[in-house]
Structure 1
Amino acid sequence: GDSFFIDSHIDRSSNELVLAIRQKSLYLSTASNVGRFFDSKGYLLIDTLYEELTKLLQDFENGLTDTAKKVARLRRKKNA
């Protein structure tokens, strides 16, 4: 298979952890509250992170991208 990159970024203004998969011009991202990925002592909940990345990768492999999500959102608004 083709190689891909996993990016992560914590947005301090919103306390969101943004996870993204990118491959050439394709890009899929998701954002969740950063607290979801850490326990009360501040340790990383690796199983939660792994689950989120696995879901993101499955969606990416099924052809979902941020562009495709945006197009679908616009279609729903147009048909509403």
Structure 2
Amino acid sequence: MALARHNNIPTRSSLHGDQASITEGAINFVKELEQTITNPRDMAPLYESLGASGVLEIDQKVLDDMRGKIVDELNKLDEK
């Protein structure tokens, strides 16, 4: 995934716009990123952080699934 080339990433030149526009662009980028993540179990802490800061609304089922996958992976490692 080439995030550096993503169209919604704010650039240095776009930071001179108004704050609402920058915030909206960041929110849109995060929402699109959320939909394209291929390994969500690694993203639970980021997802929680973005929810706590108000960038996106936490879907509790999604968060529970992420945490469950983390627990599953830890259990697999413990078995080895």
TM-score strictly above 0.5: no
Structure with the higher fraction of residues in strand conformation: 1
Structure with the higher fraction of residues in helix conformation: 2
TM-score by length of 2: 0.28
